[in-house]
Amino acid sequence: MKSIMKRSEIQLLTSLIGKKFLHLVSANLTPDLVGDSVYVVTEFDSIKIGSRVVVLNFEGIDEEYTVLTVSSLESGVLSGNRNSQDRFYKFSNEEIIQGYVFRETITEYENDVENWTYESDVAVVFQLKSGFISVSKDTHNNGVLQVEYLYDLETLTNVPNLYSDNLFVTHTISRSKVSFSDSLEELN
């Protein structure tokens, strides 16, 4: 089962590379930067990174899974007197140098026999001069996003594994970092 972002979404992310980052906007983040969506605002273009929950059945039961979404902003959505506490200025005025999609592949084995494989995009990361801004899934299932400011990509928080209540079931997890440009090429 694959749950990765569409080409049009990667193109939107790519459009921010080379732009001057201004701030993040979200009226819906906790003080720990947990919420459902965030706007990435640059000097020219801005995008919304959000999540939706889809129901999949590859584990043998209907279960909810978080899917990352990227969309362009509806006009006027950021205009008006937004509360200043909705804006997050860390790394402001720095150029977005590069961007990455973090992709995770989980394979489940039961008594050493493969049951299924689930591949999904778990984080979008923007590289700026001083550090990184990451928007990632809080978990695979809750439809919630986590924003992180990082100075080292090695410290990016991993998404917790899927649930299992069976002692004979094991999961292997592999994670890869794919630049936006490589991701676009893969989707060609």
Partner 1 sequence: MVSDTPLTSAIEFFNKLRISSEGLVTIPGGWTASFGKQITVTFRPKSTSDGSPAIDIKNQGQSPDNYKIHFVTPESRKNR
Task: Give me the least distance between CB of 41 and partner 1, in Å please.
Answer: 20
- Tell me how far apart the alpha carbons of residues 124 and 96 are, in angstroms, rounded to a whole number: 13
Contact by Cβ (8 Å): 98, 104: no
What are the Cα distances from residue 158, in Å, to 11, 26, 104, 176?
A: 25, 22, 10, 12
What are the Cα distances from residue 27, in Å, to 38, 44, 69, 143?
A: 8, 21, 18, 17
Q: Which is nearer to partner 1, 93 or 164 (CB)?
A: 164
- Residue 79's φ and ψ, nearest 5 degrees, are -85, 175
Task: Give me the least distance between CB of 102 and partner 1, in Å please.
Answer: 16
Residues at the contact surface with partner 1, assessed by CB under 8 A: 28-36, 52-55, 61-64, 138-139, 141-144, 146, 148, 157, 160-161, 163
- Tell me how far apart the alpha carbons of residues 173 and 119 are, in angstroms, rounded to a whole number: 10
Task: Give me the least distance between CB of 30 and partner 1, in Å please.
Answer: 3
Q: Which is nearer to partner 1, 11 or 141 (CB)?
A: 141
Look at residues 107, 138, 110 and name the one whose alpha carbon lies nearest to residue 122. Answer: 138
Q: Which is nearer to partner 1, 61 or 113 (CB)?
A: 61
Q: Which two tokens stand for residue 127?
A: 């590289």
Q: Which is nearer to partner 1, 16 or 135 (CB)?
A: 135
Task: Give me the least distance between CB of 82 and partner 1, in Å please.
Answer: 16
Q: Which is nearer to partner 1, 63 or 95 (CB)?
A: 63
Task: Give me the least distance between CB of 103 and partner 1, in Å please.
Answer: 20
